[in-house]
Amino acid sequence: MTQATSETTFGGAALAALCWPRFHPGEVWLAGAGPGDPGLLTLHVVNALSQADIIVYDALVHDAVLRLARPEVVLEFAGKRGGRPSAIQRDITERLIELARQRRRVLRLKGGDPFVFGRGGEEALGLATAGISFRVLPGVTAGLAGLAYASIPATTRDTNHGVILVTGQYAAGNQHSLDWGALVRTQLPIILYMGMRRLPEIAGSLLANGVSPELSVAVICNATTPQQCVLVTTLARVVRDTAAQGLGSPSIIAIGEMVKLRAALVPFAITLATEP
């Protein structure tokens, strides 16, 4: 049997023969860069990186991804930190509109998927209102890739028939604030984005709604990057253990029994940490 080499299996003529969209001047492409590992970029995003005139990127987009852009590209940082006022979001949308009106090929690059807690929806609405043509390129979201890279299946038929993706940076008291009791009643695991700042409050709400203090929790920090670290603990101990280990953002917090499957998978899972 012939062993496949990287030349025969990766890229090559078949890939080049696929019809890749042309990035036209005056368009904005709203793209997801995935959670960090450049191997998780989609081919559409790689195609976009090879054509963009300017990339407006967020704090969670990794340098390894930006280095794949064409050399003449202009890089513009538009990072926001959690909790800042939404006026800043408006400025970013206005900047995208301004750049598109200058007939640039504008790649708006966000961490993960642009429409998952990424304000991509708001930006798309702003562009549509301004009459700017845009394309959305989905990305691999941190909540799912983070679990996978931590050897935690998001679902299995034996553990759970669904998962709930939620953000910890919800606006308390408004019509969209989270009803933790309702979430708990579904008995589905919770995958929490932006959960570190309010972790004490969120863990407290879950416990107050009857979740077992012994329920398994994983905190996956810097998922899919060489700095990835995974803490496995319980709901009762998660606040103390994350503080003790000095874990911060960005982290995905997985709350549910499926976290326990990791122990059986880790010894044989080839991961960033075990690769040479």
Q: Provide the binding-site residues for ligand SAH, judged by CB under 6 A.
A: 35-36, 60, 110-113, 116-118, 141-142, 146, 193-194, 220, 222-225, 249-252
State which residue, 126 or 143, has the beta carbon closest to ligand SAH: 143
Task: Determine which one of 113, 194, 196, 258 is catalytic.
Answer: 194
State which residue, 30 or 220, has the beta carbon closest to ligand SAH: 220
Catalytic residue status for 63: no
Task: Determine which one of 58, 110, 113, 196 is catalytic.
Answer: 58
- DSSP codes joined into one string, the chain: -PPP-HHHHSSHHHHHHS-PPP--TT-EEEEE-BSS-GGGS-HHHHHHHTT-SEEEE-TTS-HHHHTTS-TTPEEEE----TT--THHHHHHHHHHHHHHHTT--EEEEESB-TTSSSSHHHHHHHHHHTT--EEEE----HHHHHHHHTT--S-BTTTBS--EEEES---TTSTT---HHHHHHTT--EEEES-STTHHHHHHHHHHTT--TT-EEEEEESTTSTT-EEEEEETTTHHHHHHHHT--SSEEEEESGGGGGHHHHGGG---TTT--
State which residue, 1 or 172, has the beta carbon closest to ligand SAH: 172
- Please report how close the Cβ of residue 61 comes to ligand SAH at its closest, in angstroms: 9
- Please report how close the Cβ of residue 64 comes to ligand SAH at its closest, in angstroms: 12
Catalytic residue status for 37: no
State which residue, 51 or 225, has the beta carbon closest to ligand SAH: 225
Catalytic residue status for 91: no
- Please report how close the Cβ of residue 111 comes to ligand SAH at its closest, in angstroms: 5
Q: Taking CB positions, which residue lies at the least distance from ligand SAH? A: 112
- Please report how close the Cβ of residue 119 comes to ligand SAH at its closest, in angstroms: 8
Active site residues: 58, 80, 194
